[in-house]
Amino acid sequence: MTDLSEKMHKPETVCIFGTGDFGRSLGLRLLQSGYNVVYGSRGPKNSLLLPKGSKVMTHAEAACEARVVFVAVQREHYGFLSSLASGLEGKVLVDVSNNLRRGLYPESNAEYLSRLVPGATVVKAFNTISAWALQSGGLDANRQVLLCGDRSDAKQQLMDIAQSLGFTAVDRGSLRAAADLEDLPLQLFPLWRLPLNIAICLTAFIFFYALTRDVIYERVTNGKDITFRIMVSLANKAFPIVSLVMLSFCYLPGALAGFLQLYNGTKYRRFPDWLDRWMLCRKQLGLLALAFGFLHVLYTLVIPIRYYVRYRINVYTISLVKDNKTYEFDNMAAWRYDSYYSMGILGFGLFVLLGITSLPSVSNSLNWREFRFVQSKLGYITLLLCTVHTFLYAYMLSLVVPCVVLILKLILITPCVDSKVTRIRQGWERQGKTSANGRDTKTNQPLMA
């Protein structure tokens, strides 16, 4: 079995400074992946909490044992490392730290570490991986270990370790990128912010408009107290409008981009910043629209069990009896109401389907053609059904945006325009410009990420 052990580059020894949650999880995972693990600790006697199979030494001793030293210590405690500087000469120091808040320090933790121990090569890595992901094996999206550093051989070592641990390593450039990497775990739904703000503002506007018109005005002129309507009626007025407008906002930037590409005659010119930002949060706009649509469905289905509605029907029936009148059946109204409900149900059904296909695990199992078919073709059919549904109910003002989007799309899919757009998206450029595909490109603007 000699020739086998020669082939193996492991068991390599890795050193970890710090015996906190992250240090322990990392050590356990390294051991499970075939590495030797040495912990550096101030009080090397206590090893009860540490994973079985690891050794504990003083920091200086531990650093001697390995080429790669993980610094799993909070930034405030980095001070002690400067006293170890000579022992860390030539080592690869891995900064895995995160801060509690943004903007706590002027420079990134990794750059600070690099200043403290100038003789070592600092790599920022693993800070986007949680102790939990290390323990559970890092599945799915958490599988990416982002790293950055100034020396590519040091980064390569970390990439090998990350790969052995079952992660995918992605190099994000020089140590200057460390500030960005340290920012990532502190983010709170950055792409949802704009869509959420739009949704909240729209909802508030429509709600207060309807409150003034339907409730307060009624109170002032007729003296009737119908404030109870706030809870269901007003909500069910605001939610569907917001849903439809958000769904239109989801498809509007794509249509605008098509026209812009037609106008520019190339796909290699960058879109204006606001359009880029808008394009990036289309999925979030669509999902919020779905959420509001879902609430609208529930608020609508709850109508017949409302106290007020039952009261009204009862009063109406009694009044018909007393006045000895009959309810004249209006065939037109039956058609209109039933169409209204049917369009709404089919639109909502398709909308739910769009929502399901935007789940990461589902959209990842589609090929590009299938994804485009669902999100574009089915998406526009959903918008069309929901627009017709709203039209039958006659909230006319809310139809402006969806109609604009539908008309723009209609223009884009007329055969002559469509063939031009398709050619442009395949790399064709108008005269004076040559395609970038295997040939020159004269556009001098960087590509949209």
The interface with its own copies within residues 228-247 (CB under 8 A) comprises 228-232, 235
Say which DSSP state 215 is in: I
197 binds its own copies (CB under 8 A): no
What is the smallest separation between the CB atom of 227 and its own copies, expressed in angstroms?
8
**3-state class percentages of the chain: helix first, strand second, coil last, to nearest 5:** 60, 10, 30
86 binds its own copies (CB under 8 A): no
- Which residue in the set 104, 315, 407, 410 belongs to the binding site for its own copies (CB under 8 A)? 315
What is the smallest separation between the CB atom of 205 and its own copies, expressed in angstroms?
19
Site for its own copies in 88-107 (CB under 8 A): 90, 100
What is the smallest separation between the CB atom of 383 and its own copies, expressed in angstroms?
19
**Cα dihedral: 17, 18, 21, 23 (round 10):** 10
Which is nearer to its own copies, 59 or 405 (by Cβ)?
59
- Which residue in the set 169, 246, 247, 385 belongs to the binding site for its own copies (CB under 8 A)? 169
Which is nearer to its own copies, 334 or 404 (by Cβ)?
334
Select the span of 193-201, 213-221, 321-329, 408-416 touching its own copies (CB under 8 A): 321-329
- Which residue in the set 112, 209, 373, 428 belongs to the binding site for its own copies (CB under 8 A)? 373
- Which residue in the set 99, 218, 342, 417 belongs to the binding site for its own copies (CB under 8 A)? 342
Token representation of residue 308: 């007020």
263 binds its own copies (CB under 8 A): no
Q: Order the strands of the 55-57 sheet from edge to edge.
A: 55-57, 36-40, 13-17, 68-71, 92-95, 121-125, 144-149, 168-171
| Residue with tokens 């369009």, as numbered in its chain | 343
- Which residue in the set 278, 348, 351, 380 belongs to the binding site for its own copies (CB under 8 A)? 348
Token representation of residue 257: 């981009």
376, amino acid identity: S
Site for its own copies in 385-424 (CB under 8 A): none
- State how far the alpha carbon of 219 is from the alpha carbons of 207, 213, 216, 246, 312, in Å: 17, 10, 5, 32, 19
Site for its own copies in 121-150 (CB under 8 A): 128, 130, 132, 135, 137-144
- State how far the alpha carbon of 317 is from the alpha carbons of 13, 302, 303, 312, 416, in Å: 85, 21, 18, 9, 58
Binding-residue pattern over the window 207 to 226 for its own copies, x denoting contact by CB under 8 A: ------------------x-
166-174 own/partner pairs: CB under 8 Å, 24+ apart = 166/33, 166/137, 166/138, 167/129, 167/138, 167/143, 168/143, 168/144, 169/125, 169/144, 169/145, 170/144, 170/145, 170/146, 171/147, 172/146, 172/147, 172/148, 173/148, 174/148, 174/149, 174/150
Within 13 Å of residue 266, how many CA atoms lie on the same side as its CB? 18
Distance CA 418, CA 261 (A): 12
**How many of the chain's residues bind its own copies (CB under 8 A)?**
150
Site for its own copies in 275-314 (CB under 8 A): 291, 294-295, 297-308, 310-311, 313-314
Binding-residue pattern over the window 35 to 74 for its own copies, x denoting contact by CB under 8 A: ------xxx-xx-xx--x--------------x----xxx
What is the smallest separation between the CB atom of 433 and its own copies, expressed in angstroms?
12
What is the smallest separation between the CB atom of 51 and its own copies, expressed in angstroms?
10
Distance CA 296, CA 291 (A): 9
- Assess contact for 128 and 146: CB atoms under 8 A: yes
Which is nearer to its own copies, 256 or 336 (by Cβ)?
336
449 binds its own copies (CB under 8 A): yes
What is the smallest separation between the CB atom of 295 and its own copies, expressed in angstroms?
5
What is the smallest separation between the CB atom of 231 and its own copies, expressed in angstroms?
4
